[in-house]
Structure 1
Amino acid sequence: MADGIVDWVTGLMETLGAPGAGLAVALENLFPPVPSEVILPLAGFTVSRGELVLWQVLVWTTVGSVVGALALYGIGAALGRDRMHALAAKIPLVKVEDVRKTEDWFERHGRKTVFFGRMVPIFRSLISIPAGVERMPLPAFTLFTTMGSFLWNTALVMAGYLLGQQWSLVEQYVGVLTYVVIGLIVLAVAVFVWKRVAEGRKARR
């Protein structure tokens, strides 16, 4: 699968140049199996070979990140608070009050969450949906998404540029970070379920 992604991204860059890398990043936001830790270092390696221009790659990949994020923001906005509350009410162990607390937290810290979330695997794409649900002001969402995406993209592109033929090492290290994030998510969900089950038992007593 990884080889197929590499061939596909390489073909896009050969055909479209830097905009091809941007298109791949935009699709990465919508289809997680297309990982940025492959696309961006590969683009950096291609720059090191003189086949692409660095500043163009950075601009187009950031544009791609923002376009993909805006698409997910639109999905969140279309979903809206009412539908989110209705959905939460149907999920076992989840209360609408939990969603409201999350909304209050996002209202206070939404800008920082969007900015730093763009540099965290898994959350990079998902963070755009709650931002849309909460109708975070679009100019602010676009600005902080652009800044966070530019930093993340630059780091991975430059890593691929400096590593040259060994650009694929970036995927391995980012992959470790991804597993850490997944582990923390699983732990958080387990703690939440344990607390909610304990509350239910206490209420029955």
Structure 2
Amino acid sequence: MNFETIEFYLENYGLLALFIVVLLEYMNLPGFPAGIIMPLAGIWAYKFNKSFLLVIVISVIAGLIGSWILYFLGFYIGRPLLNWFRNKFTKQSVALDKAIEQLNQKGYWGLLIAKLFPVIRTIISIPAGVIKMNFYKYSFYSTIGIIIWNLVFVGGGYIFGSAALNWFAKF
């Protein structure tokens, strides 16, 4: 998915499109890169005078639901899902192994830290389900990580969007 496509959906479908795109991104679906989606959501919020707080809340809810989906896939399908994931996404196998090691060594703090790094932040939910982390604690630490990640990237887009649009308005 490219920049123009995401922009089209945000402009035409608003917060619903934001929710769906962020949900899919947190489910680690290829083609939905956070480095494009999140800043673009911030630019969109500024450009169309949307509430920054509302955009953050929607993106956090979507991110948490996407994380829950992967958690429950890991919880109920477990090891076969990890093996399938390793075979399907060979480039991410190393990140997956690091995520599992992080969870085993650092527990919930490891989960929070993992939520702050690209690739690992989305796939960490699968091993968290596989090792059957307490769902409520998992949700709490995931939410903190999602809030931090989304604030940085959506906030960056919002700030950049306001600066860029103001700069271009001078000409």
Q: Please give the TM-score of this superposition, normalised by the length of structure 1.
A: 0.64
**Bigger Rg, structure 1 or 2:** 1
Matched residue, 1:119: 116
Q: Which amino acid aligns with 2:58?
A: W
Taking only aligned residues, the RMSD between alpha carbons, in angstroms, comes to 2.6
Matched residue, 1:35: 33
Matched residue, 2:57: 59
Secondary structure, in 3 states, of the residue corresponding to 2:132? coil
**Residues 1:134 and 2:131 aligned together:** yes
**Residues 1:153 and 2:150 aligned together:** yes
Secondary structure, in 3 states, of the residue corresponding to 2:78? helix
Larger RCO (CA under 8 A, 6+ residues apart) = 2
Q: Which amino acid aligns with 2:8?
A: G
**Counterparts of 2:112 and 2:19, CA distance in 1:** 19
Secondary structure, in 3 states, of the residue corresponding to 1:109? helix
Ranges in structure 2 where 5+ consecutive residues have no aligned partner: 88-96, 165-171
Query: 1:13 Cα shift?
Result: 2.0
Q: How does 1:174-193 map to 2 (within 5 A)?
A: none
Q: Which amino acid aligns with 2:138?
A: F
* 1:13-33 deviation digits (Å, cap 9, x = unpaired): 223323321221110122032
Q: Please give the TM-score of this superposition, normalised by the length of structure 2.
A: 0.75
Query: 1:145 Cα shift?
Result: 0.7
Q: Which amino acid aligns with 2:148?
A: L
**Counterparts of 1:27 and 1:38, CA distance in 2:** 13
Query: 1:111 Cα shift?
Result: 0.6
Q: Which amino acid aligns with 2:2?
A: I
Q: How does 1:99-118 map to 2 (within 5 A)?
A: 106-107=103-104, 109-118=106-115
**Counterparts of 2:8 and 2:147, CA distance in 1:** 23
Query: 1:166 Cα shift?
Result: 8.1
Q: Which amino acid aligns with 1:34?
A: F
Matched residue, 1:21: 18
